[in-house]
A and B are shown apart, each in its own frame.
Chain A
Amino acid sequence: MSADDSSLVRCPRCGENGAPGARFCENCGTPLGAPAPDAGAPSEVTLELAPTVVDPDPATGEASNQRPCTACGGTIAPDGYCADCGAPGLSERDHFEERPAGWVAGVCDRGVRHARNEDAMALAAGDSFAALVVCDGVSSAPDSDVASLAASRAARDVLVAYGPQGSSTVQGATSRRVAGWTDAMVAASRAAGQAVRGAAEQLAATKGKDVADDPPSCTFVAAVVDGDVLVAGWLGDSRVYWLPDDGQAEQLSVDDSWAQEMIAAGVPRAQAESSPQAHAITRWLGPDAPDTDARCAATVPTGPGWLLVCSDGLWNYCSDPHAMSELVRRYATTDDPLSTAAALVRWANAQGGRDNITAALARVSPAVTGQR
């Protein structure tokens, strides 16, 4: 994730010259210098997931069965089910966790009802910087799981490039940094959109699917913690909540959804959210997306709290910011974001797990925010 390549790079897509060490084209967001993902194999296999370290079986070299049971922590037997509780072993794509720093972690889970996990998550963090990206694949389109993972990683890598260790570090006073991160967020969402299109083209090339008819697509939501600044960016209905320990909980993102548009037009919230079309999203990432520029919002916290980035698999069961704040606090028995995120995912599964569930948390504290 560090920019250690100092040579000039030319964008293979638009021809723009990138800055020395740039990992992404400033013009179109295409990753620079990164090898193209393997296009040949089925999507579930080609996805290379880094976050969870798994020791391969010394006898077979296979690691797939060695992941602990996500339900009880037991061992998954060779027949694919937990040896203790009988829960089916989930593939790396169906359930994964990331914990790039002690104060930043997330869990991405298939949920109960869906056959695949089309949610994706990509996190990065340093001492006082964190980038949390969640993309929710649109399940009506095939291979949205591939698209969402590619998108979330592309966006995360762009945000990292703007971070303190990156090539185009956002610097300056609070207001300048808010503006800088707003630009970075748009670059990240464009890169994510480009990654979805790239995934769609590869899938069309390898699987012969008519991508134009039913292209893979996903939502986009990202949050950045940069010292004392929180910036959110989004397309679609995945959300960012800021849940301060003291003070009013708020939803930083504003859904790009039919329900939200109706509310904006004056329809009462209850009526809008109970409509059958309530969940129809009006903006997304994908080959058929009208635009891929994230809308952004920022806040400057005055005290410690939890930053939550999640998909609708979680907030469907707990939409209101105040209720979400109480829920997070119920499970945040320690400052460990991983155990809290895992508890939120378990809670959503216990509510029925009707959708894929992603919960990514950053524990924003004065000690962290004060370092820069």
Chain B
Amino acid sequence: MAEFSAEVFQNEFLSDGATDVHAVVSVTCAGAGAAGTAGPAGPGGAAEIVAVDTSGSMQGRNMEAAKHAAAVAVDQIPDGTLFAIVGGSHVATRIFPYPNARVPMVAMEPGARAEARRAIATMSASGGTAISTWLRLADELFATAPVANKHLILLTDGKNESEPSAHLDQMIANVTGRFQCDARGVGDRWVVGELRKISTALLGTVDLIARPEDIAEDFAALVRKSAARGVAAVDLRVWAPQGAQVLFVRQVAPEVDDLTARRTEVNPLTGAYPTGAWADETREYHVAVRVPAKPVGSEQLAARVQVAVDGDVTAAGLVKAKWSDDSTLTARISPEVAHYTGQAELASAIQEGLAAKAAGDEATATVKLGRAVQLAAETGNDEATSRLRKIVDVENEAEGTVRLRRNAAKLDEMALDTASTKTTRVRRA
């Protein structure tokens, strides 16, 4: 049985008249077990769909690599997990189970695995790209699976060019909350923003696979990760007192993901934010609440941050406010809050800088990416630092003064963009 725990990091002391309470809540899941351990059917089960781009642009190395990767994924999907393979172009096709099969998804077993590999080998590239049709087919297939844990792996190499972007937006909205999706782009002709829209709404990740031969390894890792998520449908709940305002709820580790707009009301004082399925892992959340100021000496609970599994609260952390006129207490900023505030700003500085660069606004791009270099150094995010240095020449890291590199590779920019939301954890003494 999975056990959740929540730990709160904050400076609870507020100066006289202060109203904003910030805390980082670290949520850890232990004993999650494997997805589908309760059998192929039932709420403990799992369903996995791999959707591979089969548009004309995939022709050649990409298609062969994608087919290989899909076969590797099939090898990794544990026996008992319901699965299907989808080929996507301007239309979506069920590759396996075969289109004429009477079942939409089948439970993995050695015979099905071998047959699925044969089906994958028949895939060929032609047509355009309309990702909304892939999501719709995946949604239809998942709808037949009586399991709680549903996961889609989506691979494309190009832009969603065969339909208006509003179609994709509408489809994302339609399927949000029904399954999770990790989106992968191969090569440098796909659009990071497009896949990020999908993966963010569907509680997954977006990543760049620079070389086709790396697809298989990535797919295998995604399947293993998904299979380890033994706890489905976990909500983060935030209670704030009467008269208070939740300023934001943001996942800050392992990746930055703003949950604020995904609130659904549990009761007038409590909102639920979906976090998807959990493996044995730790995620951290930055919660900010504005409360009316109280007299010095007062204590007040500013937020209850709870973990709810299937609607039952299994762990909770208390965010407090204590007003004090002792400036040695109130001036301290929690190291966790400071670190993740910097990491979140780093993510937006990178994304805004790259967007400005793509739009030809070099002045803004230079300022934003310079700030990103500064923040990456301050927060010890070495990975971001090394990725940034492929895009800009750093003059002064501490001051954040940089020059845009003229010969920066598109792939390096995309790699920086996709990795922008990855955070380093705060070093705790």
- Measuring CB to CB, which residues of chain A are less than 8 angstroms from any residue of chain B? 72, 77, 79, 81-88, 111-113, 349-354
Contacts and interface: CB of A to CB of B under 8 A. Distances in A.
A83 B300 CA distance: 11
Main SS class of interface, B: loop
A85 B296 contact: no
A112 B241 contact: no
A357 B356 CA distance: 60
A240 B243 CA distance: 38
A85 B241 contact: yes
A88 B179 CA distance: 40
A54 to B, nearest CB: 22
19 contacts: A77-B304, A79-B301, A81-B304, A82-B241, A82-B301, A83-B269, A84-B241, A85-B300, A86-B241, A86-B242, A86-B301, A111-B297, A112-B295, A112-B297, A112-B298, A352-B295, A352-B296, A353-B295, A353-B298
Interface string B231-272: 000000000111110000000000000000000000001000
Given A349-B295, A350-B295, A81 B269 contact: no
Contact of A113 (B240, B243, B297): B297
B74 interface: no
A213 B298 CA distance: 32
Contacts of A84: 241-242, 269
Contacts of A77: 304
A353 B240 CA distance: 24
A206 B32 CA distance: 49
Interface of B: 240-244, 269, 291, 294-302, 304, 316, 318
A282 B301 CA distance: 40
Nearest to B321: A86
Main SS class of interface, A: loop
Contacts of B242: 72, 84-86
A352 B297 contact: yes
10 cross-chain pairs, A with B, having the tightest CB-CB distances, nearest first: A86-B241, A86-B301, A81-B301, A113-B297, A112-B297, A86-B300, A85-B241, A85-B242, A352-B295, A84-B242
A82 B243 CA distance: 13
B241 A88 contact: no
A353 B294 CA distance: 11
B318 A79 contact: yes
A112 B325 CA distance: 13
A112 B296 contact: yes
Given A84-B269, A353-B298, 16 more contacts: A79-B301, A81-B304, A81-B318, A84-B242, A85-B242, A85-B300, A86-B240, A86-B300, A86-B301, A87-B299, A88-B299, A349-B295, A352-B295, A352-B297, A353-B295, A354-B297
Contact of B297 (A83, A86, A353): A353
Given A72-B242, A79-B316, A79-B318, A86 B298 contact: no
A77 B241 CA distance: 12
Contacts of B295: 112, 349-353
B304 A79 contact: yes
B17 to A, nearest CB: 13
A352 B302 CA distance: 20
Contacts of A351: 295
Contacts of B291: 86
Contacts of A353: 295, 297-298
A206 B118 CA distance: 83
Contacts of B269: 83-84
A83 B298 CA distance: 17
A79 to B, nearest CB: 6
A79 B301 CA distance: 10
Nearest to A112: B297
Contacts of B302: 86
Contacts of B244: 86
